[in-house]
Structure 1
Amino acid sequence: MTEPAYQTMTEEEYLRWDGPRDAKWEFVDGFIYAQAGASKPHGLIAGNILRVLLNAADDGPCYVIPSDLKVRVYRDGRPRYYLPDIVVVCESSMVGNVETQPCLIVEILSASTRAVDETFKASDYQRLESLQGYLLVDSERQGVMFHRRTAQGWQLEAVDESVQLPCLDVSLSVDAIYRNVPL
């Protein structure tokens, strides 16, 4: 996440706001945050993951949406709106252009987003009752972590070779994620 805009907004103002097109904008505690543009490795990784997820979703009840879908979460009764890199939804609960029941979220890490994605967003996303998994993929070196919802709570897994993803019931390999990515 980058530095916040200095002017605060209400949730309603944010949802009506049509900010500058050169960035995507997230809403946290009344502030809007510009999301940095994607690097070449980030784009290639996203494309590789999308290929696997879209094929798995073909003809099924779930669908896969890249990067521009707002996901609403609540912390301490206050709404936050994030724009994950990839969202899988099986039972949609769209409110306008906002999803409230994702099943799987993928974030691709960079130097500017790593700390927020691994901490605040991980905690916020795990508050979503519908969420079954949160996949974190490094875009600067090979590294994949997966937060999985279990009957005992959330478990964090380091992914060495592949991970079985919930919702689409598909195996995603580290080799597939980093296929043709120059790192």
Structure 2
Amino acid sequence: MTEPAYRTYTEEEYLNHSGPEKVRWEYVDGFVYAQAGASLPHNRISTNIQRVFAASSLDGSCWSYVSDLKVRVVRDGNRRYYLPEIVVVCNSNMVGDVETQPCLIVEILGASTRNIDLTFKVSDYQRIEGLQGYLTVDSEARGVIFYRRTPEGWQFETVDESVELPCLGLTLSVPETYRNVGL
């Protein structure tokens, strides 16, 4: 996240927000945050992952969305809206252009988002009832962390070679994720 707007917005104002067209906005506790533009490594990582996800979702039972699908999270009675890099949805619960029950979320870490993605968003995403996994991929150095929902609660693992992902029933390899990225 970058700097917040200098005034608070209602949820309705955010959902109808018509700020600059090329800017993506997240909504947290009444403030809207402009999302920084993505670097070349960030975009290549996203494309590599989406290529694997798209091939696994050809039957149409699940869909993967890139960048602009809002995900709603409720924390302490307050709604927050995030725009993950990739969202996998199998049992959609769309309300307008907002998803409330994603199955898998991917965030690509960069200098301006790393701390938020690894602290607040980890906690917030784990509150989503149907979420089975949260994958973070570093865009500045090779590094992949996967948070998985288990019967015992949430567990995380540092991924060196590959990770079995829920929902799409696939294995994502770290070398494939970083193909042609230069890291």
Give TM-score scaled by structure 2 length.
Answer: 0.99
Aligned residue in 2 for 1:178: 178
Aligned to 2:108, the other structure's residue is in SS state strand
Cα distance in 2 between the residues matched to 1:21 and 1:141:
30
Structure 1 residue runs of 4+, over 3 Å off?
none
Could you give the per-residue CA deviations for residues 100-121 of structure 1, whole angstroms, max 9, x where no partner exists?
A: 0000000000010000000000
Aligned residue in 1 for 2:9: 9
Aligned to 1:7, the other structure's residue is in SS state coil
Could you give the per-residue CA deviations for residues 22-63 of structure 1, whole angstroms, max 9, x where no partner exists?
A: 310000000000000000000000000000001011114100
Matches within 5 A, 1:132-151: 132-151=132-151
Sequence identity, in percent? 68
Aligned residue in 2 for 1:153: 153
Give TM-score scaled by structure 1 length.
Answer: 0.99
For structure 2, the 5+ residue unaligned runs are none
Root-mean-square deviation (Å): 0.6
What is the aligned residue count?
A: 183
Aligned to 2:136, the other structure's residue is in SS state strand
Aligned residue in 2 for 1:167: 167
Instruction: Indicate yes or no: 2:60 matched with 1:40.
Output: no
Cα distance in 1 between the residues matched to 2:180 and 2:83:
25
Aligned to 1:36, the other structure's residue is in SS state coil
Aligned residue in 1 for 2:129: 129
Could you give the per-residue CA deviations for residues 143-176 of structure 1, whole angstroms, max 9, x where no partner exists?
A: 0000000000000100010000000010000011
